[in-house]
Amino acid sequence: MKTQRFWAALAMASLVAIAGSARAEDVHTPAPDNDAFAPAALTGTLAKARDTGAIAIGYRDASVPFSYLDARKQPIGYSIELCKALVAAIGNAVHKNLNIQWVPVTPETRIDAVVDGRVDLECGSTTSNVERQKRVAFSPIFFVAGTKVMVKKGSPIRSFRDLAGKNVAVTAGTTNEKALRDLDRKFALGMHLQIVPDHAEGFARVANGQADAFATDDVLLYGLIAENAAKGGAYQVIGDYLSYDPYGIMYRKNDPQLAQVVRDTFQQLAADGEIERQYKRWFLQRLPSGKSLDMPMSAQLESIIETMAGGESQ
């Protein structure tokens, strides 16, 4: 695999540097093995992982089924499983079994948490776009969503135009918030936007009548509806897509060693079918709550994964 060749090349570079130093000083010492010197060439997040024996994962508490808490308050989900595979790959690269440090993040704090080093991998439902790529790096795409609107069944709201003058909840710091503001400005809808801290609060605003609608990624809306089914109330997702949102795992920019591990790991996960297996587990089978989203993989995502399996990046 590419990653193995990469670490072999790093080890060889270290050996060449040591050999050159020995000739200059005319000192004859035994040649060290690769394992002893490959770690010395590590930089960035991989060096941090080697030194601390841990990777900090940023998780979300209500991004069903990507990253959320189970009944025992442990992070679970589609994104979490992909990140666990990344942690295992990083551990192989640094020759250590790494512990996971779980760090809660919100839409507003997640990017800063990656940039300032509190989080090494952000494993949630984060859209990879040009603006965010100025501050952080992203893994290959592992899901494609889009902004839609959730309302109570029986609501007269059927499209975005019906949001004129309505109270609409949207999560702070998301691409959904930008999509709603752009839509409101373009069509002069006069929406009353309620900026909420997380998706759970947005759902609650509709449930208790404080908001007429909640706008976020369609898959997250279906997840919230499924997870809250036992609490009563009937909800529906309506209208056309208001934005395009490809998801990726966030990590720090300018970290080429980690970037290669991420790319190679995703390529392997796609090639051996693990991404598809995890998709079926979290989108087609029953969730721990007993509910299922019953969302077949889109043709677009199938194409993305097929391309990834062939070693081509998005």
Checking if the pLDDT of 39 tops 90, the result is no
- One domain, residues 125 and 152: no
Which of 198, 228, 243 delimits the end of a domain? 243
With respect to residue 174, please indicate whether it lies within any of the assigned structural domains: yes
Surface-to-core class of residue 10, CB atoms within 10 Å of its CB (0-12 exposed, 13-18 middle, 19+ buried): buried
- One domain, residues 132 and 160: no
> Of 58, 52, 14, 55, whose CA–CA distance to 34 is shortest?
14
Asked if 101 and 57 count as a contact pair (C-beta separation under 8 A), the reply is yes
- One domain, residues 86 and 157: no
Distance from the Cα of residue 136 to its chain's centroid: 12
Average pLDDT over residues 33-59: 81
CATH code of residue 227: 3.40.190.10
With respect to residue 76, please indicate whether it lies within any of the assigned structural domains: yes
Checking if the pLDDT of 175 tops 60, the result is yes
- One domain, residues 25 and 50: no
- One domain, residues 273 and 135: yes
Checking if the pLDDT of 19 tops 80, the result is no
pLDDT of residue 40: 54
Which residue range is the domain that position 27 belongs to?
1-41
pLDDT of residue 161: 95
- One domain, residues 103 and 63: yes
- Report which DSSP code applies to 127: B
Confidence of residue 28 (pLDDT cuts 50, 70, 90): very low
Average pLDDT over residues 79-93: 98
End-to-end CA distance of the chain: 19
Sheet holding 54-59, edge to edge: 99-104, 54-59, 121-123, 250-252, 136-138
- One domain, residues 160 and 130: no
- One domain, residues 196 and 178: yes
pLDDT of residue 36: 39
Q: What distance in Å separates the CA atoms of residue 222 and residue 220, rounded to the nearest whole number? A: 5
Backbone angles phi, psi at 33, to 5 degrees: -80, 165
Q: What distance in Å separates the CA atoms of residue 282 and residue 291, rounded to the nearest whole number? A: 10
Average pLDDT over residues 105-122: 97
Confidence of residue 230 (pLDDT cuts 50, 70, 90): confident
Average pLDDT over residues 71-94: 97
Checking if the pLDDT of 81 tops 90, the result is yes
- One domain, residues 119 and 49: yes
- One domain, residues 122 and 7: no
Which of 243, 276, 297 delimits the end of a domain? 243
Number of structural domains in the chain: 3
Contacts of 239 (CB under 8 A, 6+ apart): 148, 149, 158, 159, 160
pLDDT digits (tens, 9 = 90+) for 205-226: 999 999 999 999 999 999 999 9
With respect to residue 314, please indicate whether it lies within any of the assigned structural domains: no
**Mean pLDDT across the chain:** 88
Q: What DSSP element (H or E) covers 105?
A: none
- One domain, residues 52 and 133: yes
pLDDT digits (tens, 9 = 90+) for 255-289: 999 999 999 999 999 999 999 999 999 999 999 98
With respect to residue 221, please indicate whether it lies within any of the assigned structural domains: yes
Give the residue ranges of DSSP H helices in 194-294.
199-207, 218-227, 256-271, 274-279
Checking if the pLDDT of 31 tops 80, the result is no
- One domain, residues 36 and 56: no
Q: What DSSP element (H or E) covers 104?
A: strand 99-104
pLDDT of residue 313: 58
